[in-house]
Structure 1
Amino acid sequence: MFSQKTFIIAEAGVNHNGSLELAKQLVDVAVQAGADAVKFQTFRAEKVVSSSAPKAAYQCRTTEENESQLEMLRKLELSEDQHSELITYCQQKGIQFLSTPFDEISVDLLVRKFDLPLIKIPSGEITNGPFLLFIARTGKPVILSTGMSTLGEVETALGVLAFGYTQPHTKPSLAAFQAAYASAEGQQALRQKVTLLHCTTEYPAPFEDVNLSAMDTLRAAFGLSVGYSDHTPGIAVPIAAVARGAVVIEKHFTLDRHLPGPDHRASLEPVELKQMVEAIRQVEQALGSGLKIPAASEKKKNTLVVRRSLVAACPIKKGEQFTRENIAAKRPGDGCSPMLFWDYIGKWAVKDYLPDEQI
């Protein structure tokens, strides 16, 4: 689904604080950083949380103390008109607009109204079977975050997606999901349409909880492309994830970490986002083909300089026998390889050699 280049998603999320102008500034920052896409969140608060739903601890630290999660999310909704304007703005700026939906109305808005090329499914919805099925039946490719989940939960979610992609008219059930997952048709649909993101759902995520090696586990278990959604401070871990084979990187960013709102504290500021993108592109170049052969710069500049050739260690007369004492290996490396040292021992010189003259 993605090219060899890492697909970098600058996650604006709800860091627009409900302001269209702020959202456009975030798009500008993502463009300037060189990200491939800028991603927001699409939801209707009443469809996502109940009136009694508590806020997460990190949200309590960064928003009004007496405000409910529902009240907080209401302030962060983007209307259909705001979505339309943002999508147009992204097109003008040459960056892909993406958004994470959190309810079926929002999925319809993104797919039916705006025809987005793919859907990002957040970690919190990986056990929301009806929602996963609704998304799969749109036929759109998905990026599925796997924060907080076990390998078994990921497999169950993939079963729902496989069923939704391949069985549009069949009655859903756990048995039907398992059958779809086990089928050749279901596996093919997953390979074509699903990318998994390893993720640690904490803001910010402690480094000791990241477990980047789980990317390898996901890849080996499901045979799917794997990326990484990062919530750690700084840019070191997403760069490491690219070196480990991540095909997608997602990272929150903000205009200013000191702005009010739930996610700003765990987000990169503009300079850091640009540094992350630049570093990822450098890592991509550095990964190379995997073939252990001399690089062009090595052959052109340094091989002859630092390798050695067989030379006379002292004056050698024509007809004199080569010995361990009268031949040596010295730079430069444009003569006979020292690997042939033993082949010369015991042979006779066909000419006179001065000290350091190449054999």
Structure 2
Amino acid sequence: MKRTLIIAEAGVNHNGSLDLAKRLVDAAKESGADIVKFQTGNPTAFTSRYAEKAEYQKENTGGDESQLEMLKKLMLSHEEFYELKDYCDTVGIEFLSTPFDIGSIDFLEKLGCDIWKIPSGEITNLPYLEKIASTHKQIIMSTGMATLDEVGDALQVLKNNGADGITLLQCTTQYPTPYESVNLRAMLTLKEKFGCKVGYSDHTKGIEVPIAAVAMGAEVIEKHFTLDRNMPGPDHQASLEPDELKAMVSSIRNIEQAMGDGIKKPSESEIPNIIVARKSIIAARNIKKGELFTKDNITTKRPGNGISPMKWQEVLGTRAKRDFMEDELIEL
């Protein structure tokens, strides 16, 4: 059984509050997720004052402030991240955070992150990719908004600068993502084209799509979650609440077990039911010793611990070696 790495994406759903961030850690741990992920960055280092909000951000937070002003309210400080990382260690869940600028890469490396999560928006950011790759750590990269060629170009930059162990996530950068925009089959295209591990970063409203992704071979699942979808902020509406996150994780673990080894054979759990559910060749009426077995005096009925009906033609025309009562198993 291959275990799926499940990343509970807290992102900025703490709304800039360390207390809320810790509560998100607790919820992620309770859900059974492997990793809880946040976002680290200096807004002025990665967003200009002229950058507008996305439409979904305007809908969720209003259109009066700029993207930069919104982000300044949402980011935790380095000091708070030190405390948050320690809290994750205490709770017993792996801490991860996506860096949004080169300075944050340096900070998170110092903090002790063992995995890099590259967001979709950085897939064309050459200096950023070179910096990430130079650390020689495992990389998980979302591919939202990207063409296959752009993914290939980013992979080449990463590999040319020393990166290894890269996992690509199929992703649609829309919050929430309409089901018709998910394109799960693109995950298989990434695997076939680039020969690497693949997974899925989900922004749909439900839990069905990430579960389906696991059934299709996703080795990593990332999903946004929040304490309450009604909280103010840009990403809450497209996030799961704690009970839903827990249900998703549980369902994925069930699917992992259900995938099996691909060998078609009776499972241990169903072997006892073979006798119960299958049929045998049975006397359709009382049969005398020496009588020929014909279509008129034999039939097939349960249980299945006698002669298999697949030997029907072999039985027809032979003679009964003894008397048989109706419904008795035929013996040759």
**TM-score bin (small chain):** over 0.9
* Correspondent of 1:292 among 260, 264, 275: 264
- The 5-angstrom pairing of residues 92-111 of structure 1 reads 92-111=90-109
Percent of aligned pairs with the same amino acid: 59
What amino acid is the match of 1:290? G
Q: Is the 8 A contact 2:53 2:63 kept in 1?
A: no
Which AA in structure 1 matches 2:325? Answer: L
Unaligned runs of at least 5 residues, structure 2:
none
Deviation of 1:64 (Å): 4.0
Q: CA deviation at 1:65?
A: 2.4
Aligned mates of 2:60, 2:286 — CA distance in 1: 81
The residue aligned with 1:154 is 151
Kindly state the Cα deviation for residue 320 of structure 1 after the two structures are TM-superposed: 1.6
Give the one of 167, 183, 194 matched to 1:222: 194
Of 220, 244, 249, which residue of structure 2 is paired with 1:277? 249
Aligned pair partner of 2:295 in 324, 329, 332: 324
Q: Distance in 2 between matches of 1:312 and 1:265?
A: 66
Query: The residue matched to 1:227 in structure 2 has which SS?
Result: strand
Paired residues in the alignment total 330
Shift of 1:328: 1.1
Separation in 1, partners of 2:158, 2:20: 35
Name the CA distance, whole Å, in 2 between partners of 1:223 and 1:313.
60
Offset from partner CA, 1:156-189 (integer Å, 9 cap, x none): 11100110117xxxxxxxxxxxxxxxxxxxxxx3
SS in 2 for 1:297: coil
Letter of the aligned partner of 2:8 in structure 1? A
The residue number in structure 2 matching 1:173 is none
Please state if 1:265 is matched with 2:237: yes
How far does the alpha carbon of each residue in 1:243-286 deviate from its partner, in whole angstroms, 9 at most, with x for none? 11111111101111111111111111111111111111111111
CA distance in 2: counterparts of 1:15 and 1:358, whole angstroms: 68
Contact (CA 8 Å) 2:11, 2:224: kept in 1 or not? yes
Give the aligned partner of residue 174 of structure 1: none
TM-score by length of 1: 0.90
Q: Does 1:345 align with 2:316?
A: yes
Query: Offset at 1:326?
Result: 1.5
Name the residue aligned to 2:227.
255
TM-score normalised according to structure 2 size? 0.97
Instruction: Give the Å deviation of 1:72.
Output: 0.9
Q: Kindly state the Cα deviation for residue 306 of structure 1 after the two structures are TM-superposed.
A: 1.1
Equivalent-residue separation in structure 1 for 2:10 and 2:270 (angstroms):
42
Aligned-pair CA distance for 1:115? 2.1
Q: Trace 1:84-233 onto structure 2 (pairs within 5 A).
A: 84-111=82-109, 113-165=110-162, 189=164, 193-233=165-205
Give the letter for the 2:95 counterpart: F
| 1:37 corresponds to which of 35, 38, 55 | 35
Of the three residues 3, 6, 22, the one matched with 1:5 is: 3
* Map of 1:309 onto structure 2: 280
Counterpart of 2:258, as a letter, is A
User: Which digits, 9 at most, give the CA deviation of each residue in 1:301-327, with x for residues without a partner?
Assistant: x21111101111122222222122221
- Tell me the distance in 2 between the aligned counterparts of 1:224 and 1:72: 36
Amino acid at match of 1:129: L
Cα distance in 2 for residues equivalent to 1:38 and 1:89: 11
Q: 1:47, CA displacement in angstroms?
A: 1.1
- Residue ranges of structure 1 left out of the alignment (5+ in a row): 167-188
Residue 21 of structure 1 is matched in structure 2 by 19
Report the Cα offset of residue 52 of structure 1: 0.5
Task: In structure 1, give the amino acid aligned to 2:209.
Answer: V
CA RMSD of aligned residues (A): 1.1
**Separation of aligned partners in 1, 2:15 and 2:323:** 85
Write the distance in 1 (CA, Å) between the matches of 2:188 and 2:297.
54
Match of 1:58 in 2: 56
In the alignment, residue 114 of structure 1 is paired with which amino acid? L
Rounded to whole Å, the distance in 1 between the matches of 2:203 and 2:16 is 22
Greater mean deviation of Cα atoms: 220-229 or 291-300: 291-300
Aligned to 1:357: 328
Kindly report structure 1 stretches of 4+ aligned residues shifted beyond 4 Å.
none
Q: Tell me how far apart the structure 1 counterparts of residues 79 and 45 of structure 2 sit (CA, whole Å).
A: 19
| Secondary structure of 2:8 counterpart | strand
